[in-house]
């Protein structure tokens, strides 16, 4: 037997084999050496070890094989691929029969037993091709990540490792069904791709991974959009780079006023909101659940790039440099990394690196490697709670209503990205077209991050298609949360909820007789609560300001609808040209 490079047929290799053979005989008994061999030997079809081969070819434990099956397995190591019973049944039969003859010649079996076993068709007892491939390539995206987490010094195929994972088979099967059919979520076409990760919010254990859609049957370990993706994350970055750090370092409240107005980056380049409009002075809460870009940039600037980078890197990122454009998600990531970051908000500020492998037992059966990463404090409990409270509004009144899960307290954030100017000019995308659409969200039990998009710049996500990631989140979260109690996010003792008069600037407490429609419940750290209450004059002025705002918004909306009607005619012309 040899575990050295079999392609290196040199004297040096033979010398190495001889030396290793002597070392083995000094350290192990012959029985131990045979056991190592049986556990490690290659058996074709990417299978190592005779026990695994018995399961792969016959669906049985090695000890349960009959004489004919045992002889087939025993004869394969000399030339595993040539004696593969699926690929070369005639050669496999000749080899099996030779093994049986040698067993008879050495008085291990009787002549009758030999002839009986030799008379068995080689295909008898073999698993069907479909069953075998289903077993071998099952949960491909998840297994790929498992393999990535095995320490480099071990060979998962030949070292006899017993690997324990966090896989939830029901959740994995549901995820794969959701990706590869239209039974759960309707996809626009087969070209649209997606990646999704489900993890335990409390400990970082990844329970399901959806790596791609419509992967070719002959492809294994294909490109994994859940773990290998490098695409801009859009507004899903805002809680991580902007508002989380503002709560953490500046002790801001959710009622902090931010002016949504024409603005530029520090370098002078203009920044726009997704609707190219402005809301004027609004609260941090409104800015986040409405996903306004300008307040996000202002918040990052107030925090400072160094502190924003430190906060972000504490959530599983590793940035050496940090840029203002990260305020609105110009940085790249993948669903696995985003799930890990968002889980910390749902876990009272504790970050645990996402992982599939929980422990590994070595071939001796007793040496165990604990593979669980240690949880680390990423932020104050107050920060995690305040972010979560605002992100709940994203699903109830904000940009992520399609992600809502009835009966389950959930927080989350949408994210979309635009095409660059060169692509826009080349392909003439319609207004509102997006390249990527994300949704990352969590409950106190589970965290899910989803990406959707296309590989080719020719394709874009329409406004409705941008909600598919939200629907995927909602469907999977609903499935895994069924028949399971989900606690709401718990406020720490130093966070106070205060009724604030809507539109007040600076924020003031709402008076006792203020109509509920004019009150917003906002969160403050103890000691920072506004002491001033609204007067009747203030309330009257606020109502008048709100009415003026509403009238301005209505006029703007009417103007936009007119433009949209005009734009539809142009878009129809553009599409007819494409055809």
Tell me if 404 sits within 8 A of 393, measured CB to CB. Answer: no
Burial class (CB in 10 A: 0-12, 13-18, 19+), 86: middle
User: Which residue has 């490109």 as its token pair?
Assistant: 223
CA-based diameter of the chain, in Å? Answer: 108
- CA-wise closest residue to 437 among 420, 458, 417: 417
| Closest of 370, 375, 449, 440 to residue 149, by C-alpha | 370
Domains and CATH numbers, the chain: 11-128 (1.10.3810.10), 137-149+160-232+331-492 (3.40.710.10), 234-330 (no CATH), 495-578 (no CATH)
pLDDT value of residue 495: 98
Is the separation of the CB atoms in 199 and 171 below 8 Å? no
Question: For residue 499, what is the DSSP state?
Answer: E
Two tokens, residue 140: 């491909």
Sheet strands (E) in 502-579: 519-525
Q: Using alpha carbons only, what angle is made at residue 293 by residues 509 and 277, rounded to the nearest 5 degrees?
A: 90
The reported pLDDT for the residue numbered 545 is 59
Do 293 and 328 touch, CB atoms closer than 8 A? yes
Q: DSSP 3-state assignment of 11?
A: helix
Sequence-separated (6 or more) residues with CB below 8 Å from residue 73: 43, 50, 53, 54, 57, 62, 65
23: tokens are 């070392």
Dump the DSSP string for 223-281.
--TTTT--EE-GGGGHIIIIIHHHHHHH---TT-EEEE-SEE-TTS-EE--TTS---EE
Whole-model pTM: value is 0.80
Residue 540: per-residue pLDDT: 55
Residue where the block lists tokens 């081969």: 53
pLDDT at res. 370: 97
**Cα 201 from Cα 440, distance rounded (Å):** 12
* Nearest-angstrom CA–CA distance, 137 and 129: 12
Peptide bond connecting 445 to the previous residue in cis, omega within 30 degrees of 0: no
Looking up tokens 């003859």, which residue turns up?
101
**Both tokens assigned to 115:** 């002839």
Amino acid 387: pLDDT: 98
Residue 270 is given by DSSP the state E
Residue-by-residue pLDDT tens, the chain, 579 positions: 444 444 455 677 667 767 777 776 777 777 777 777 777 788 888 788 898 899 989 999 999 999 999 999 999 999 999 999 999 999 999 999 999 999 999 999 999 999 999 999 999 999 987 676 555 557 999 999 999 999 999 988 778 889 999 999 999 999 999 999 999 999 999 999 999 999 999 999 999 999 999 886 656 678 999 999 999 999 999 999 999 999 999 999 999 999 999 999 999 999 999 999 999 999 999 999 999 999 999 999 999 999 999 999 999 999 999 999 999 999 999 999 999 999 999 999 999 999 999 999 998 889 999 999 999 999 999 999 999 999 999 999 999 999 999 999 999 999 999 999 999 999 999 999 999 999 999 999 999 999 999 999 999 999 999 999 999 999 999 999 999 999 999 999 999 999 999 999 999 999 989 999 999 999 999 999 999 988 755 555 555 555 556 666 666 656 555 554 444 444 433 333 333
User: Is 243:387 a contact under the CB 8 Å cutoff?
Assistant: yes
* Angle, alpha carbons 75-76-82 (nearest 5°): 125
Positive or negative CA dihedral for 554, 555, 557, 561?
positive
- Rounded Cα gap, residues 472 and 469, in angstroms: 5
Secondary structure tally for the chain: helices H, strands E:
19, 18
CB 45 within 8 A of CB 136: yes
Least Cα distance to 397 among 518, 289, 292, 285 occurs for: 289
Tokens of 382: 């107050």
Among residues 469, 461, 399, 415, the alpha carbon closest in space to that of 434 is found at: 461
Residues in the chain: 579
């Amino acid at each position: 037997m040899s575990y050295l490079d079999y392609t290196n047929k040199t004297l040096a290799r033979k010398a190495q084999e001889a030396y290793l053979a002597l070392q083995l005989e000094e350290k192990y008994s012959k029985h131990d050496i045979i056991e190592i061999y049986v556990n490690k030997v290659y058996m074709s079809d990417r299978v190592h070890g005779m026990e695994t081969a018995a399961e792969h070819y016959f669906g049985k434990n090695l000890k349960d094989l009959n004489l004919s099956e045992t002889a087939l397995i025993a004869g394969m190591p000399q030339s595993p691929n040539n004696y593969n019973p699926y690929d070369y049944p005639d050669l496999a039969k000749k080899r099996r029969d030779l093994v049986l003859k040698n067993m008879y010649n050495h008085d291990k079996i009787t002549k009758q037993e030999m002839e009986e076993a030799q008379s068995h068709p080689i295909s008898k007892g073999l698993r069907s091709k479909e069953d075998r491939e289903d077993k071998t390539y099952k949960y491909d995206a998840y297994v790929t990540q498992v393999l990535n987490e095995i320490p480099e010094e071990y060979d998962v195929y030949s070292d006899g490792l017993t690997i324990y994972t966090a896989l939830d088979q029901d959740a994995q099967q549901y995820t794969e069904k959701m990706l590869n059919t239209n039974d759960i979520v309707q996809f626009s076409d087969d070209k649209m791709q997606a990646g999704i990760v489900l993890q335990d919010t409390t400990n970082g254990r990844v329970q399901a991974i959806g790596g791609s859609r419509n992967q070719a049957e002959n492809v294994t370990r294909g490109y994994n959009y859940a773990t290998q993706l490098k695409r801009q994350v859009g507004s899903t970055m805002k809680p991580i780079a902007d508002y989380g750090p503002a709560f953490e370092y500046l002790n801001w409240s959710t009622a902090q006023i931010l002016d949504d107005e024409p603005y530029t980056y520090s370098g002078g380049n203009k920044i726009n909101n997704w609707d190219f409009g402005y809301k004027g002075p609004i609260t941090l809460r409104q800015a986040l659940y409405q996903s306004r870009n300008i307040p996000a940039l202002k918040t990052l600037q107030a925090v400072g790039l160094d502190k924003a980078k430190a906060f972000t890197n504490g959530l599983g990122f590793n940035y050496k440099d940090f840029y203002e454009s990260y305020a609105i998600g110009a940085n790249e990531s993948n669903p696995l990394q985003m799930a890990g970051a968002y889980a910390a908000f749902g876990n009272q500020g504790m970050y645990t690196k996402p992982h599939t492998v929980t422990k590994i037992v070595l071939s001796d059966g007793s040496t165990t490697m604990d593979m669980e990463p240690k949880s680390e404090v990423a932020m104050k409990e107050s920060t995690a709670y305040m972010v979560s409270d605002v992100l709940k509004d994203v699903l109830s009144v904000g940009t992520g209503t399609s992600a809502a899960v009835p009966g389950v307290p959930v927080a989350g954030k949408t994210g979309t990205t635009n095409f660059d100017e060169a692509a826009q000019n080349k392909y003439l995308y319609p207004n509102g077209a997006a390249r990527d659409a994300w949704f990352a969200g969590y409950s106190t039990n589970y965290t899910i991050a989803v990406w959707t998009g296309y590989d080719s710049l020719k394709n874009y996500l329409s406004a409705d298609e941008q909600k598919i990631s939200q629907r995927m989140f909602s469907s999977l979260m609903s499935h895994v949360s069924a028949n399971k109690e989900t606690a709401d996010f718990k406020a720490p003792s130093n966070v106070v909820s205060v009724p604030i008069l809507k539109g007040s600037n600076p924020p003031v407490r709402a008076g006792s007789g203020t109509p509920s429609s004019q009150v917003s419940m906002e969160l403050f750290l103890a000691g920072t609560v506004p002491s001033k209450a609204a007067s009747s004059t203030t309330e009257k002025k606020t109502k008048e300001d709100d009415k003026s705002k509403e009238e301005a918004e209505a006029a703007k909306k009417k103007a936009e609808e007119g433009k949209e009607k005009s734009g539809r005619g142009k878009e129809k012309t553009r599409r007819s040209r494409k055809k």
